[in-house]
Every structure is written in C-alpha cells, then in structure tokens.
Amino acid sequence: MMYPSVNVSALIFLACVLSICVCTLGHTYGNGELLEDVMKAILERLDEKDEQIWTLESSIESLRTQNELLTHELDILKERQSTVERGFNGDRVENSYSGNGKNEQAINAVLAENSYSQNEITQRKITALLNTGRQTKTKRQSRKRRQANLAAGVSGGGTVAFFATLINNIHHEAEGDLVPFDNVVTNEGSAYRPNPGQFVAPAPGLYVFSVTLQSYPVVGQPPSGYALNKNGVEVSKLYIDGSTTIDNLNYETTSQTAVLRLDKGDVIAVTNRGANGGVHGDHYSSFCGFSLPTYDSSIQVIG
C-alpha cells in the first residue's frame, strides 16, 4: 500500500516563512484583515497536512503491530514444528505399541501448547491494540493542542509585548490628555501605538501592564494625578507631587501594575486626571505590557 509523502520539516519551514512575510505585509500596510485571512488559509493547509500525517502514522503503527504479531506467531509455529518432529523421530525407534502411546502424548502436548499459544497471541493483540490506541490518541491530542496554540498565536499576531519610555518632559496638560510614551523600545506584535500612546489588544486574553511616572518639577506646579484607563474607564490611579521651590527640586516617582482581561480591540492608555500636570521625560517615565500565555486545560495526555 502506497501513501503520499509528507515532508513535515518542509511544511513547518514553509509556515514560518509565510508567517514572516505576512506579518511584514500586515505591519507595512496596517491591514489586520489581510494578515488574519492569509494566516487562516495557512492554518487550514497545515491542518490538512496534519490529518494526512496522523493517518500515515496510524497506518504505520498498525502495520508495525501486525508485523510483530505475525513474527511472534511464526516463532511459535516453528517451535511447535520442532517439537512435533522431535516427538515423532523419537517414536520411530520405539515399538509400534509404545510408539502409538508416545504419539498420542506428543499430539496432546502439541494441542495444549497450541491452545496456550493462541491465548497468548490473543492477549498480545489486545494489549498491542490498546497501546496503539493510547499512542494515537495522545499524538492526536498533542497536534490539536499545538494547532490551537498556533491559531491563538496567529489571531493575536504571535508574541504580544511592548515597552516605551517618555523622551520629552510634558507639563500643563489638559484633563484627559494621553501621556505619549514616544520612545518605543520593544513592540512585538505591533499592538502599541506611540502616537497617541495607546495599546490596542490584538486578541482576547489576559494582559499585564505596568506604568512608572516621575514628576517634572516646576516652581508653583501642583501635584499631578494620572490613571491607567481601559476603553476610557479608569482602572488604577497614580499620584506624583512635582511641587518644588528654587532651592528644592522635588522628583517623585510612582508606579502601578495591573492584570486585565481584554477583548480584541480594547484600548489601554495612561491619561491625565487634572489640568497642569507634569511628567519627567528623558526615559524616567515608562509604560509596558505583555500578554499571558493560555493553555487548554480540557486536553489531557493519556499515559
């Protein structure tokens, strides 16, 4: 029986190359739908090949099991043949009466051995089938889990993580203004937008965000309040006192960390809670975040 040849390494390499090309196109043209459609097509193609691989492996495993059983049966038949030949050869040197008795004993021994051998073969077949079933189920579950993780990564653009700092000092902001962390150090997944300073969730899931602000000291400037917002709603608040005198420059630092469950398209940003706020730039203030990996707890490995 001939089976189609499936080069797994070539498929994985092709998927990686296509992923890089598509991610580059999505980043260049900002077309999220194009990225999602092309990657969905790649996943479908990989799923087809995955099914072929699973079918081939199942067939190979079945053939291997059958071969082992046939080899075992052949060994048993050879042993039985050898036993019978030894019995009858020994009987020839005996007299006819004694020979008949010996032959009967040899035949009974062969029948008993044959019955035992058949039971052993049946038991081995059952054990082999159970083991093959477990191995096949485990491999299939592993592929489904890998495929689900790949799909989740594709829908979210792969790894999602960003880190940005503030270059220029900002002060006298209006209430509700966003803090534009404009120096992007890391932006895996391109979910952070430095202008105006927003993170847009590319996929649903759990995310971690951290904000660090340092006050920008200005004589006569009141304390400043800021907030980490989700879709315009305050999640956590920050307070820094930049009030100072000519003889005493007051640099105060504050930070907040939040773990949030987001839907695709949710917007996270840092905003000013009052007028005349001031934040120290020169990379003393920063904003970062990343997605937490998710696992399918319903998939269990059968051992």
Whether 253 maps to a domain, the answer reads yes
Q: Estimate to the nearest angstrom the gap between the alpha carbon of 246 and the chain centroid.
A: 56
- Domain endpoint, select from 115, 133, 155: 155
224 CB-near residues (< 8 Å, 6+ apart): 215, 239, 240, 241, 242, 272, 274, 276, 277, 278, 279
- pLDDT confidence bin for 73, thresholds 50/70/90: confident
Model pLDDT for residues 209-247, shown as the tens digit of each residue: 999 999 887 776 778 899 999 999 999 999 888 666 556
* CATH, residue 200: 2.60.120.40
Torsion sign (Cα): 49, 54, 56, 57: positive
Q: In whole angstroms, what separates CA 213 from the centre of its chain?
A: 34
- pLDDT value at 180 more than 70: yes
The number of residues making up the chain comes to: 303
Q: What are phi and psi of 94, to 5 degrees?
A: -95, 170
Report the domain count for the chain: 2
**For residue 199, which phi and psi values (nearest 5 degrees)?**
-110, 125
Which tokens is 86 given?
């030894």
Single pTM value for the model? 0.51
Q: Per residue in 78-105, pLDDT tens?
A: 887 777 777 666 655 554 545 555 566 6
Residues near 15 by beta carbon (within 8 Å), at least 6 away in sequence: 42, 46
Spatial separation of the C-alpha atoms in residues 192 and 286, rounded to whole Å: 13
Domain residues for the domain of 228 are: 161-291
Amino acid letter for position 23:
C
Q: Is residue 191 part of a domain?
A: yes
For the segment 200-210, what is each residue's pLDDT rounded down to a tens digit? 999 999 999 99
User: Are residues 46 and 92 part of one domain?
Assistant: yes
